[in-house]
Structure 1
Amino acid sequence: MKEKGCMKCGSTDAGQKEVAMTGTGLSKLFDVQTNQFIVVYCKDCGYSEFYNKQASKASNILDLFFGG
């Protein structure tokens, strides 16, 4: 059975934040932040994974981060 925890250090202490980023082309030129993500990060080593906010609504993101 696979151990759950951070892929780099094995810690189970994680946090999450929402971030928005610009795309390319005109959205970058006008600083339109159209891409929204949820970032899950390890509070011990800082390892981070980005998940598309729209695609992640139906699942538990922390379970994805810990390999659940």
Structure 2
Amino acid sequence: MANQGCIKCGSKDAGQKEVAMTGTGLSKMFDIQNNQFIVVYCNNCGYSEFYNKKASASSNILDLFFG
């Protein structure tokens, strides 16, 4: 399948970052950031998608973003 680009604007200029977030309950109360994600974002329009870091570690995230 050919790379389609961003689903919002068609740009092929993307970046990615790793982020961590708190959950609920005690982890939120103590600010324990145990949920880790990779965020892929379009540098042109800002559209973003979150991918679970553990589930997506073996795949190419940018390929998933571009379809």
Unaligned runs of 5+ in 2: none
Unaligned runs of 5+ in 1: none
Question: What is the correspondence of 1:1-68 to structure 2 with a 5 Å cutoff?
Answer: 4-67=4-67
* Percent identity over paired residues: 81
Question: Number of aligned pairs?
Answer: 67
- TM value normalised by structure 1: 0.94
Provide Cα deviations, 1:8-65, integer angstroms capped at 9, x if missing partner. Answer: 0000000000000000000000000000000000000000000000001111000000
CA RMSD after TM alignment? 1.3
- The structure 1 segments of at least 4 consecutive aligned residues displaced by more than 3 Å after TM superposition are none
Q: In 2, distance between residues paired with 1:5 and 1:62?
A: 10
Q: Using the TM superposition, give the Cα deviation of residue 2 of structure 1 relative to its aligned residue in structure 2, in angstroms.
A: 6.5
Q: In 2, distance between residues paired with 1:54 and 1:9?
A: 28
Q: In 1, distance between residues paired with 2:2 and 2:39?
A: 23
